[in-house]
Amino acid sequence: MFKGLFDWYNQSLATGGYPLIVLLMAIESSIVPLPSEFIIPPAIIVAQKTGNMTLLGIVIAGAFGSWIGATVMYWLSRWAGRPFVLRYGRYIFIPAAKVEQAELWAAQFGSLGVFFSRLLPVVRHLIGIPAGIVRMSFWKFSTYTVLGSALWCYVLCQVGIQAGKDDALMRGELHRVTLWAVGALIVLGTIYYFFVHRLTRKPAK
């Protein structure tokens, strides 16, 4: 299954290029749980093979797509308000618990939380909601979103470059693809637990 998805995405990148990255990263930063960890690294691998994209171009496309998705979430939340989001969010993959988690994150770290959230799983998809609800300055929100997203995309590009040096992975050997996928899930799960879950737990009453 992993190999089939990997091959399909590689072929799509070869023809879709930057616009496909922008589209997928916009989706990643909105309501669909599409991890950027599976978008950017394959893009830099394809870029190194075909030469039709550059690292800088991928970072810019990824950051721009993230900004688009986050902006949609920001304005929807600003327009609809907290009660609407909490009541109907679960119908579009935004459960109330996750909204409250993002609110706690924003309350703890303020506007800089927008920047740091772009480097962390789960909360980066949702940070636009509390930012919109509290009517944070859109320009400040946009600046931190673009900067944080660009840094994260650069980090993912470096991961992709290292992955590209794994010949077994590049040949699509199932065990190697599985090892990388499982490793990524473990790392992301650990990051989420220590840097998101523990920091955004509600205090005991």
Mean pLDDT value of segment 124-130:
83
Least confident of 4-8, 10-14, 184-188: 184-188
| Predicted confidence band of residue 4 (pLDDT cuts 50, 70, 90) | low
Contact 81, 129 (CB under 8 A): no
| Predicted confidence band of residue 205 (pLDDT cuts 50, 70, 90) | very low
* The predicted structure's pLDDT at residue 50: 80
d(CA 114, CA 169): 34
Only one residue has tokens 């989420």, namely 192
Q: What is the pLDDT of residues 131-186, one digit of tens each?
A: 888 888 899 999 999 999 999 999 889 888 887 776 655 555 544 555 555 565 66
* The predicted structure's pLDDT at residue 179: 57
* The predicted structure's pLDDT at residue 204: 43
Rg (CA), the chain: 17
d(CA 179, CA 92): 32
pTM of the model: 0.77
Domain boundaries, the chain: 2-197
Residue 165, phi then psi, degrees to nearest 5: -85, -10
* The predicted structure's pLDDT at residue 131: 86
Contact 92, 85 (CB under 8 A): no
Q: What is the pLDDT of residues 54-103, one digit of tens each?
A: 999 999 999 999 999 999 999 988 898 777 777 777 766 677 777 777 77
The runs of H, that is alpha helices, within 40-137 are 40-50, 55-80, 82-88, 96-109, 112-117, 123-126, 128-133
